[in-house]
């Protein structure tokens, strides 16, 4: 006797995740402008109207993927380990490279190129992800760097270097060792230089 699979209605949260899971490889394999709502609906096995119902359009699906990837990054990058500050900085970079390698395809399709997409919503989400990453870096290395606006500005600039170097490594244009060396040495320099209290000049009494 043959059996037919039973249909189970998904709750809204499950349906959203199903659509995002289906859209993930599409954006990873193609350029942003080459993915349509019809493609997403077809991959998820739902109607175009259902995608519109839960997200609105392609832009909202892409933004939701960015936000989900950012949340996963924060959950999977715990505080660094190591006996010395330099070892902990190196561990931070190692954990980052491990995570991006594990999420290579979707990272290259979203966060790695987010600022290159003119859409203001995408740029807003990327800016928020950078802000949160900077806050985490400052908190994880508070032993050698004072968390100030000056430090956060420097770390924000460093994340652009991070993104460029990681992208080249994942594309096979640089080795992991070279990428780790570049990111760890520059991160430590930024933390120690821009996280150090400003040096106050001594007043000299006039002769």
Q: Tell me the DSSP string of 24-49.
A: HHHHHHS-GGG--HHHHHHHHTS-HH
Tokens 């989900």 locate to 68
The pLDDT confidence band at residue 204, using thresholds 50, 70 and 90, is low
State the chain's mean pLDDT as an integer.
86
Domain ranges of the chain: 65-194
Please report the pLDDT score of residue 197 as a whole number: 76
Please report the pLDDT score of residue 205 as a whole number: 52
> Are 167 and 112 in contact, with CB atoms under 8 Å apart?
yes
> Are 179 and 97 in contact, with CB atoms under 8 Å apart?
yes
Convert the pLDDT of each residue in 15-46 to its tens digit. Answer: 999 999 999 888 877 777 888 999 999 999 99
- 65-194: CATH homologous superfamily? Tetracycline Repressor, domain 2 (1.10.357.10)
Residue 202 pLDDT greater than 70, yes or no: no
The pLDDT confidence band at residue 206, using thresholds 50, 70 and 90, is low
The pTM assigned to this predicted structure is: 0.77
Of 74-78, 99-103, 194-198, the one with minimum mean pLDDT is 74-78
3's CB contacts (< 8 A; 6+ apart) are none
Convert the pLDDT of each residue in 61-99 to its tens digit. Answer: 988 988 888 888 878 788 999 999 999 999 999 999 999
Please report the pLDDT score of residue 129 as a whole number: 85
- Interatomic CA distance for residues 199 and 165, integer angstroms: 32
- Reported as type and span, the H/E element at residue 74 is helix 58-76
Of 53-57, 126-130, 184-188, the one with minimum mean pLDDT is 126-130
Task: Give me the sign of the Cα torsion angle 8, 72, 118, 28.
Answer: negative
In the chain, what is the greatest distance between 2 CA atoms, to the nearest angstrom?
A: 107
């Amino acid at each position: 006797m043959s059996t037919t699979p039973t249909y189970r209605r998904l709750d809204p949260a499950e349906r959203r995740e199903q659509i995002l899971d289906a859209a993930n490889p599409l954006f990873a394999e193609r350029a942003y402008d080459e993915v349509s709502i019809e493609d997403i609906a077809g991959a998820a096995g739902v109607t175009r109207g259902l995608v519109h119902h839960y997200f609105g359009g392609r832009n909202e699906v892409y933004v939701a993927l960015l936000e989900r990837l950012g949340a996963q990054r924060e959950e999977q990058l715990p505080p660094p380990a190591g006996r010395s500050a330099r070892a902990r900085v190196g561990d931070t970079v190692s954990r980052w490279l491990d995570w991006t390698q594990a999420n290579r395809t979707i990272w290259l399709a979203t966060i790695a190129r987010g600022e290159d997409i003119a859409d203001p919503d995408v740029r807003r989400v990327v800016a928020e992800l950078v802000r949160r990453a900077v806050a985490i870096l400052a908190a994880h290395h508070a032993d050698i760097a004072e968390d100030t606006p000056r430090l956060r500005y420097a770390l924000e600039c460093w994340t652009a270097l991070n993104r460029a170097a990681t992208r080249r490594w994942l594309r096979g244009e640089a080795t992991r060792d070279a990428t780790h060396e570049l990111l760890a040495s520059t991160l430590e320099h930024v933390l120690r230089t821009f996280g150090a209290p400003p040096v106050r000049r001594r007043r000299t009494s006039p002769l």
